[in-house]
A and B are shown apart, each in its own frame.
Chain A
Amino acid sequence: MNIRLKHTGAALLAAALVLTACGGDDDDAGPAEPAASDEATATDTTDDTTPESTGDDTAEPSDDQPDLAGTTLTFWIMGDNSGAFEELVAPFTDETGIEVDVEAIPWENVNDRLTTAVASGDGPDVTQIGLSLLPTFLAGEALMDVSGMVADYPNLADSNFPSGVSQAALNPEGTVASFPWVSDTRVLFYRSDVLSEAGYDAPPATWDEIHEVAAALAERGGDEYGYYIPQWDAPLPISYVWQAGGDVIDDTGAIDLQTPEFEAAVDHYLAFHDQGVVPVNSDFDQALGFITGAAPMLVSGPYLEGAIRDQAPELDGAWGVTTVPAGVDNTSLFAGSNVGVWANSEHPEAALELINFLADPQTQLAWYEAVNELPAVTGALDELKAGDSETVSVYADQLANSRLLPLHPQWDAVGSEILNTLNSIALTGADRDTALADLYAAVESMTG
């Protein structure tokens, strides 16, 4: 029995080794050296056709402009806007003959799909990348460096995008791996009717003012609060650090939390809880809370505007948005999504054609119309700003003063550690100084 067990074990180990070895390298999951970029610089424009490759090898682009009609691209979209996206790219297919297969992935499961795709080297051609996941995509070498090809696509020039998401800001390694697609930022939503009832005719513009107003609004008692802090919102405390005039990354690019500005941000965050002006239930629905007036002020993104207009059109005129209250300044979070070409896509040119189309100001505006996601292209933003929507000009102003979360490979873990620490102080009464000391130690050990 024992001997036999050993044998079985050995056989299993052998099998496992074979499998993991195979999984690792005989497909093209390997280093993301785009087969295309090294030759792409030499492209010139004559017409010829390259048949669409269906083999295992990456297509070698010919020296001629290939005819891309008949190519099919797979596109990963996060969340449930796949129907709207199919409509968005219909004109693109009509014009170029490039088909687009759209696949929707629930936000919570993006990581599952990403890891299995990286492990097998079997991904889409083009993918949406939530900015918070960008470090993971880069670390997994899931995106193609298209720096050698990008010159042929006018809409993808760096000058078209806000400076907060320049290629230099997006790619710590100096590559060109993804392009801004939709932008998102956080602004202060407020119920002007509720505020004026409490005697405030303008929304709070500074940290001190927002604490004052929130306290006054919470006086209404019962289930009525002054402000709302989502317990799952890891970027929020970081934007407080920026507003305090600090940063969480030092000059050397390392994560550094032990600064007076970080402490100021922590105290700003905790003060809302100490004064009891925010709800403490984790399943608080912010749209509903805003509509009923239970949470008459909160920091959120354009999607909240969509939800309010959808669910409570009668509130029109009773609410507004403004840039976030300032500590030292009023920096907010630059969020949103990029799009990039998958590392071993067989159709890099067609993929870039699609991304170029998505970055066209007209496409950007159409997407905003369809799903209320803000453009990431300056031209489209300006056009929106020139329109008569007050909310959009606030978003645009705020985007001009917004920052990306650190693209540090450890950031995701550190960010949730910070959030957990703050929640443990705010919700379970942990001691502030001890908890912060533990946090600093934990971050030290994480980032080594």
Chain B
Amino acid sequence: MRDDRGTLPATKLRHRSAIRRRAVPYVFVGPALLLLLAFGVLPIVVAGFVSLTDLDIAGLANRDNVSFVGLENYRTLLSDGDFWRSIRVTLAFIVIGVPAIIAISLAIAFGLAQGTNRWFRALRTFYFLPAITAIVAISLVWGLLYNTQFGLLNYLLDSVGLPKVNWLSDPTVAKFSVGIVAVWRATGLNSIIFLAAIQNIPQEYYDAAALDGAGEWQKFRYVTFPLLRFALMFVTVTTLIAWLQFFDEPFVLTDGGPVGATTSVSLFIYREGFSRNQFGYASAGTVALFCLILVVTATQLRLFRRNDAS
């Protein structure tokens, strides 16, 4: 960070231009910040208020129908078995999903970093493709592949003599089916981030390590890994936030089913609140999720910082 201080000859001008100069950064960050406040922060604040009321669709139409209920929504939430189930489901996704995404993205990034010719560059597009596809299109394509009656996957199983699988109807299998699509979607962007970080490491470091007689593994352990620190932290934090807000894939593929097996916390909030218009209750769920994400992220950043210090 630097302080930019031009020097101005005319003292008369100094005062006015100082004010103007002080305003400069605000002009730069202003527009974006206003939009974020309006559409990012304000809704959180509104949700905080609404979570203390019993707002529903009748309340939206007419404010006489809204009453203040204090922490009632939060009490209901904590005793709601479905809410706890959605927490468990989300945790299951995180435990499998976060390491899977990081490992696969890293592997792809290392693979792509091996070559710089046109072919390797062309491969990037293939890996990046799922990350940039509309979720509506993705749900249709995968729904077709997973289809039990005429889907390709069951045909492949069938043709090698294996029994057909109910990809989206068996509670255990459905978790994996939905998880696979999520991992498939998430690796693209993360691979690119890792690839960029890998290509950022100066060749001299490796040469120096080689002179010291380091093998491949040691090069990775002592050169690559430490220098990927920031990228790793960045990807871990954003991936974890994404899983905590996990919504799209189960929403379009299974609608949270079968029998709640793929209902994540976000989807639970959506179902209970926003599809049944219990906005007070849904906002309580939202605030709870927001706090959870905040705590998890802060903890992660602290862990990374502690590691950095050591």
Contacts and interface: CB of A to CB of B under 8 A. Distances in A.
Given A20-B49, A30-B62, A428-B171, A111 B277 contact: yes
A20 B254 CA distance: 35
B84 to A, nearest CB: 14
Contacts of A281: 148-149, 166, 168-169
B259 A423 contact: yes
A293 to B, nearest CB: 12
A153 interface: no
Interface stretch (A9-17, A247-255, A302-310, A400-408): A9-17
With most chain A CB atoms within 10 A of its CB, the pick from B49, B143, B150, B166 is B166
Interface in B231-282: 254-255, 257-260, 274-277
Given A20-B49, A281-B148, A412-B276, A15 B42 contact: yes
B196 interface: no
Interface stretch (B3-11, B52-60, B181-189, B293-301): B52-60
A427 B146 contact: no
Given A16-B42, A16-B46, A288 B150 contact: yes
B143 A283 contact: yes
B45 A282 contact: no
A67 B284 CA distance: 50
Interface string A1-32: 00000000000110111011000110001111
Q: Which of B58, B60, B63, B148 has the most CB of A within 10 A?
A: B60
Given A15-B42, A283-B143, A140 B257 contact: no
Contacts of A118: 57, 60-61
B258 A141 contact: no
Contacts of A15: 42, 45
B147 interface: yes
Nearest to B76: A445
B45 A283 contact: no
Nearest to A111: B275
B138 to A, nearest CB: 16
A: contact size bracket: 35 or more
B201 interface: no
A200 interface: no
A427 B150 CA distance: 22
Contact of A284 (B42, B63, B148, B171): B148
B41 interface: yes
Nearest to A412: B276
Contact of A20 (B46, B56, B148, B276): B46
Given A16-B49, A280-B169, A282-B168, A136 B57 contact: yes
B103 to A, nearest CB: 30
Contacts of B63: 24-25
Interface in A108-122: 111, 114-115, 118-119
Contacts of A139: 56-58, 61, 277
B258 A282 contact: yes
B58 A140 contact: yes
A142 B61 CA distance: 8
Interface in A415-441: 420, 423-424, 427-428
B37 interface: yes
A312 interface: no
A140 B258 contact: no
Interface string A283-305: 11100110000100000000000
Contacts of A115: 57, 60, 274, 277
Contact of B258 (A30, A231, A413): A231
A17 B40 CA distance: 16
B52 to A, nearest CB: 13
A20 B46 CA distance: 8
Interface string A128-141: 00000000100111
Contacts of B255: 232
Contacts of A13: 45
Given A115-B277, A139-B56, A281-B166, A231 B257 contact: yes
A142 B258 CA distance: 33
A297 to B, nearest CB: 17
Contact of A285 (B45, B149, B169, B260): B149
Nearest to A137: B57
Interface string A370-394: 0000000000000000000000000
A418 to B, nearest CB: 13
A444 B171 CA distance: 28
Given A13-B45, A20-B49, A31 B62 contact: yes
Contacts of B274: 111, 115
A288 B258 CA distance: 22
Contacts of A424: 259
Given A282-B169, A428-B171, A420 B56 contact: no
Nearest to A30: B62
B166 A136 contact: no
Contacts of B168: 281-283
A313 B65 CA distance: 54
Contacts of B57: 114-115, 118, 136, 139-140
Nearest to B165: A281
A269 to B, nearest CB: 15
Nearest to B64: A31
A30 B148 CA distance: 49
28 contacts: A12-B41, A15-B42, A16-B49, A19-B46, A20-B46, A25-B63, A29-B60, A29-B62, A111-B277, A115-B57, A115-B60, A115-B277, A118-B57, A118-B61, A139-B57, A139-B61, A139-B277, A141-B62, A231-B169, A280-B169, A282-B257, A282-B258, A283-B148, A283-B149, A283-B168, A283-B169, A424-B259, A428-B171
Interface of B: 37, 41-42, 45-46, 49, 56-58, 60-63, 143, 146-150, 166, 168-169, 171, 254-255, 257-260, 274-277
Interface of A: 12-13, 15-17, 19-20, 24-25, 29-32, 111, 114-115, 118-119, 136, 139-142, 231-232, 279-285, 288-289, 294, 343, 412-413, 420, 423-424, 427-428
Given A283-B146, A423-B259, 12 more contacts: A12-B42, A136-B277, A140-B57, A231-B169, A231-B257, A279-B148, A280-B169, A281-B169, A288-B150, A343-B61, A427-B258, A428-B171
